Amino acid sequence: MKENYSKFLKILIVALFLEVIVFNITSYRTFFGKFEKRVYESEEITYYSEDDDKVFLELDDINSKTATIKLELKDVENVTEYKVLFSDDTSKEYQGLNSKKYIDSYQKSKYIPLYLSGNTRSLLISVDKSIYEDGKIERVIINEKIPFEFNLMRFFIVFFSILLVYFIKNSKILNDEYSNKNLNQEFILLGILAIFFVLLSWINNYSRNPGEGTVYNKDFVDAITSGSFSLLKDPSDKFLELENPYDALTRYDVERDVDYIWDTAFYNGKHYVYFGILPLLISFLPYYLITKKYLEIPVVVFIFSMLIFILFKEILLKILNKFYEKIPFKFVMYFLILLCSGSLILYANGMSRVYELVIVAGVYFVLQGIYFILKSTETEKNRYVNIFFGSLFLALSVACRPTDLIASFLIIPYLLYLLIENIKNVKNSKLPLVKLIVSVAIPYLAVGITLMWYNYVRFGSIFEFGAKYQLTITNMTTLGSRIWAVPTGIITNLFSMPNFILDFPFITNHNNLTIFYGYYYIENMIGGLFILAPICFMNFLIVKANKKIENKSLKVLINSLVVVSIIIVILSIMMAGSNQRYLIDYAWMIILSGILIFMSIYNSLKTDEAKRTLSKVLSIIVVYTFLIGIASGIVSEKSYMQNNSPEEFYKTKYTVCFWE
């Protein structure tokens, strides 16, 4: 006990040292150094402008050492950028420094630490012209001491991170074998989910765009409540006169969202929403009917995302309990973190629009269906009830996103096994066979027939969901399947490298493609799935795993996950292209198969040394995937957090980048 207290105290001291000394390093230079403080009131500053957007504040004839510069503005409500240029002993000409964001409520954003050579000759500060014209400049101070800041949030994150590493290495409970009867282990897993719920809430809340289009959650709701599947707003006569409205170039002379509604399906003179109708029927429509208000899309994305994380935990535990007798509990923790952070659900919440909504909704229904199917394998009691609900949820996923139909292939081996067994025993009893057929057929037929009818009344075809008639960036009516684009898409979606940078949040989007002489859609990729979640590379060991695995059901599960995910990858590339959100459809499958292959390879190792090495590799992968998962949520497709909540974004940046 005393040893634990001693370790706890040491970790506390390390965390305090980091927060007090390291993370406040910029404060100590002016605390202990001898620098002459100078204050320049607004009327003492020389102002001039070389363009229509910026004004320069010039501080001339300084001729002394400078350690800091502080800009003081007044009544500045929005985050605003400013930049410092300097002239010192190295040059008479001005040289620029990195810019900084001024946040009125955050003191450290008003300071820039300076590391110049010798004496500073003069300084320039560039600010928006409106700041100057509105009289918001108060003063500039040279060599003002940067205030000490004890950031409680940063301290606790660092403290608990070090504490977690210590406990993973030394705690008995984390190094024990996993048991589904161990309540302490269950509480730890729930704690991991709680952390991801907080991250979801933070990213989702601060990335919302109140001005985002409302076609799905408002216009579509209005149409349905009026008894119409087509949107109530008709295209203009000017649009209707176009020779080929599906060709983006012919729409050059008509105004988007005025003459026509962007990214809707246009058919027989009407606009239709081609996105799956199910999320509307179970959330937006009931909410409107009850409150007469329109529910925001990010709220529903957040709810589905939480449910997905819960299902990740439940499905993971059911699989591990079923197929692995001995597994270190810390591995269960690692696997849950990999699924939650590598699945790109955090990314979807960083730009939660209708595009992300239907994807996460589809993933939820697929996972919920698989959960019931797994539950049906545990006991014969209520087996066919669970199969019924599993089939129902898997069928309903198609009403969110049509490509989710492929996910139903995952349960085919299990259903075929039951079918064969029931046929063999049909002489003893026909009831199990009847129950099996009914529990699978009724959900798929009911949902399938309903969707076919829905498609037919809109587009005159039971198989047309509306994507063919999209008013989007290319002509979908003649685009075709593009089989030759598959290699390009595989490299881009699975193996493209992220653009790592030295500025928060340390990654950016890219539109990099291998050479392809044809049309291929790509937009703002973060990186390939295998690079964002390296556990996916374990899938390359599937042949070796197949030789090591003795349990046929586990072997079938792993191979089904790999095959089905490959099919969805190829279909996604052929039908759409490359966008980070498309990866969400199959990311969890590839990660889960990678986890199961890892566990099978780990169990096959003969020496403890080999197992320790693989365990260390896994821990590094977990930390990397966790951090890059958060970063991808912050960046999202179009930097929504930075654009819509700049104050929160830059406060986070300056908390992490303590040296700025």
**Are 49 and 124 members of one domain?**
yes
For residue 78, being part of any structural domain is answered with yes
| pLDDT of amino acid 481 | 66
The stretch 212-234 carries a mean pLDDT of 92
Residue 526: how many CA atoms within 13 Å on its side-chain side?
Answer: 31
**Are 9 and 91 members of one domain?**
no
**Are 160 and 72 members of one domain?**
no
The pLDDT of residue 52 is above 90: no
Structural domain of 92: 26-142
In CATH, what number is assigned to the domain containing residue 55?
Answer: 2.60.120
Q: Is 12 helix (H, G, I), strand (E, B) or coil?
A: helix
What are the structure tokens assigned to 32, written together? 């202990």
**Are 38 and 106 members of one domain?**
yes
| pLDDT of amino acid 580 | 95
**Are 62 and 35 members of one domain?**
yes
The stretch 267-272 carries a mean pLDDT of 94
**4-48, pLDDT tens digit by residue?**
678 888 889 999 999 999 999 988 887 777 888 999 999 888 888
| pLDDT of amino acid 50 | 74
Q: Which contiguous run of DSSP H or E holds residue 161?
A: helix 152-170
The stretch 314-322 carries a mean pLDDT of 96
Q: Is 46 helix (H, G, I), strand (E, B) or coil?
A: strand
Compute φ and ψ for 563, nearest 5 degrees.
-65, -45
8 A C-beta contact, residue 591 and residue 536:
yes
Q: Which contiguous run of DSSP H or E holds residue 204?
A: helix 183-206
Which residue matches tokens 């990397």? 624
| pLDDT of amino acid 600 | 94
**Are 83 and 109 members of one domain?**
yes
Q: Which contiguous run of DSSP H or E holds residue 633?
A: helix 608-635
Ranges of H-type helices in 533-607: 542-548, 552-575, 584-604
For residue 539, being part of any structural domain is answered with no
DSSP 312-341: HHHHHHHHHHHH-S--BHHHHHHHHHHHHH
Least confident piece of the model among 206-215, 294-303, 539-548, 628-637: 206-215
**Are 58 and 128 members of one domain?**
yes
Residue 474: how many CA atoms within 13 Å on its side-chain side?
Answer: 12
**Are 66 and 160 members of one domain?**
no
What are the structure tokens assigned to 508, written together? 């950016």
The pLDDT of residue 592 is above 90: yes
**71-123, pLDDT tens digit by residue?**
999 988 889 999 999 999 888 889 988 899 999 989 999 999 999 998 999 99
In percent, how much of the chain has pLDDT > 90? 70
**Are 19 and 32 members of one domain?**
no
For residue 369, being part of any structural domain is answered with no
For residue 620, being part of any structural domain is answered with no
For residue 569, being part of any structural domain is answered with no
What are the structure tokens assigned to 611, written together? 């197992």
pLDDT tier at 169 (50, 70, 90 boundaries)?
Answer: confident
For residue 394, being part of any structural domain is answered with no
The stretch 223-251 carries a mean pLDDT of 91
For residue 327, being part of any structural domain is answered with no
**Are 33 and 87 members of one domain?**
yes
DSSP 446-507: HHHHHHHHHHHHHHS-TT--SGGGB-SSS-TTS----GGGHHHHHIIIIIPPPEE-SSTTSE
The stretch 141-166 carries a mean pLDDT of 90
Contacts of 357 (CB under 8 A, 6+ apart): 216, 275, 279, 297, 300, 301, 304
For residue 270, being part of any structural domain is answered with no
Compute φ and ψ for 267, nearest 5 degrees.
-150, 130
Domain count, the chain: 2
The span from the CA of 647 to the CA of 10, in Å, is 35
Residue 614: how many CA atoms within 13 Å on its side-chain side?
Answer: 20
Residue that terminates a domain, selected from 132, 166, 200: 166
| pLDDT of amino acid 2 | 62
| pLDDT of amino acid 488 | 93
Give the global pTM: 0.93
Compute the mean pLDDT over every residue in the chain, rounded to the nearest whole number.
92
8 A C-beta contact, residue 131 and residue 55:
yes
8 A C-beta contact, residue 341 and residue 626:
yes
The span from the CA of 554 to the CA of 271, in Å, is 47
**Are 17 and 106 members of one domain?**
no
The stretch 423-439 carries a mean pLDDT of 89
DSSP state of 497: P
| pLDDT of amino acid 4 | 66
**Are 6 and 51 members of one domain?**
no
Residues in the chain: 660
